[in-house]
Amino acid sequence: MRVNVYFIDNSLLHFRELFVGQERSFKKTYTYHYQRSDGTMVFRYDNAPHFPKLPSAPHHKHIGENDVVAADAPDLQSVLKEIESQIDSKR
């Protein structure tokens, strides 16, 4: 599943989730990429295996363009709540 969600401030969440299995499906890969209306990345959660030394590997969070921190795998609802707080803080 690939989805783009535009918010009231024209910021954008692009998310991708790949579920595998039929009876016991699980989320194999994911990306939740949130950016401002000008294209500047605010954060991105993903489970690409490019930071193997983080304690939560392969799960991690990019903050802005340069910082990466350990993070548990989020779900869409928690990402939307985080975005809501970002938008509310600008008002």
Domain ranges of the chain: 2-90
What pTM, to 2 d.p., does this model score?
0.90
Mean pLDDT of 21-39: 91
First to last CA, the chain: 31
Structure tokens at 49: 């295996």
Q: What angle do CA 83, 46, 75 make, to 5 degrees?
A: 55
CA distances from 53 to 4, 6, 58, 60, 87 (A): 31, 34, 9, 11, 32
pLDDT of residue 91: 66
Query: How many Å separate Cα 36 from the centre of its chain?
Result: 14
Looking at per-residue confidence, does 39 or 88 come out higher?
Answer: 39
Number of residues written out for the chain: 91
In what helix (H) or strand (E) does residue 9 lie, and over which residues does it extend?
none
* Average pLDDT of the chain to the nearest whole number: 94
Percent of the chain predicted with pLDDT > 70 = 99
